[in-house]
Structure 1
Amino acid sequence: MRNIKLTIEYDGKRYLGWQRLGDSDKTIQGKIENIITQMTGEKLEIIGSGRTDAGTHARGQVANFKTNTTLSRDEILDFMNRYLPQDIVIKKVAEVPERFHARYNCKGKQYSYYVWNDPIPSAFERHRSFHVPQTLDLVKMNAACEKLLGKHDFIGFSALKKTKKSTVRTIDEISVQREGSLLHFTFVGDGFLHKMVRIITGTLIEIGAGKMQVADIDAIFESKVRQDAGETVPAQGLFLDEVYYK
């Protein structure tokens, strides 16, 4: 049996997220599985590197599936891109060892979040960014980013209620850069909790707007209370850029 790895790009605007839902065909996983079944005649499950929420986009989501098909990698790529919706694209098809698992073998991820920071909204960026009209202090925001680097318990920056699993994560990079009216937030780490990127971004925005202070980052790590952090920003500004493996 072959193990096929897919690198996937998608616009999440029309979808309810990555994970297949039994009563809906509006998921990324469900759309891709339906096309693979058409292609191979096999009823199978694809394994993603992780879930993305409704409205979230991806430039480099990774998934794998096992199949008996004799189709070449190019034939798989051509078939899937011919029949998938235009807002889901397979960028690369690779054959990997049988033990490769898109989720369990993942060593880290990079996300981007985009904020349209201008008094006037953008007609073109509205589905790919969050509009924040007020002036933001990038110096304070990047100072807060420094406090978030390293190994911490990020439960206060997540939407998790209770979990027996560890909520400790290591963040290697967080930064905010201005590209005209667009603010580009970059996040690189070994893993991210549910809505963690969106909550951290909301916290950084509130610090930039003067509603919170840089020192509040330490207080949130100390309290581990979600309500102490900033608002959860909308999903449409979030992109999964890349998934890292050994």
Structure 2
Amino acid sequence: MTRLSVNINKIATIRNARGGNNPNLVNVALDCERFGAQGITVHPRPDERHIRYQDVLDLTGVVTTEFNIEGNPNERFIELVRQVRPAQVTLVPDAPDAITSNAGWDTIRHADHLRQLVETFKQDGIRVSIFVDADERMVEGAKAVGTDRIELYTEPYAAHYFENREAAIAPFVRAAQKAQELGLGLNAGHDLSLDNLQYFAQYIPGLLEVSIGHALICDALYFGLENTIQMYRRCLNQD
């Protein structure tokens, strides 16, 4: 069964646009869970332009489904994750000035750094996922550093879905098969939407979790948050 984790960064973006606490991030996270989300994802960045570090602390102990904290593992991020001890930490190599995540780790070049991070978080009982491109070599590199899971960066799939969905998904199928062969858990995220999610989930073997934020919140403007979460659940064949 593929679990749906809702990324609530965009809710924080709306709140921050006016200051104050509307919408209330904690209430939205609880509502997402009530509406069917099986996890809550946050991605704090150094400039705190959406999720703030205090938000992560406020959500700690409140989220009753799976809490996933993703981000670039700088010193402050590491300290935060070790303090919170979420169910999962997802390591993402995004630059501080990046608008959004735009590439996976080179798990071979950064093997020593990643290995140390994995060991650190595992000592605290936190499951570790490494954000990677759909490249079998990067999957093998992730296995070598001891991670529990990988998260496939799916923007290239989404970008080419309408041109040729069979060709777009092919490298992701190969990467997923390699993960299964190596005994790695498999997550996926970035630009997955109501248009392309069902096809992805249907053909990617061993898909445990998808993390979706931007598209889901955009859809919620038209369909409502509860209905939208249920629509995404149905795409994952979870009626």
Instruction: Please say whether Structure 1 and Structure 2 have the same fold, judged by a TM-score greater than 0.5.
Output: no
The higher-RCO structure (CA 8 Å, 6+ apart) is 1
Higher share of residues assigned helix: 2
Structure exhibiting the larger radius of gyration computed from Cα positions: 1
Q: Provide TM-score, normalisation by structure 1.
A: 0.28
TM-score (norm 2): 0.29
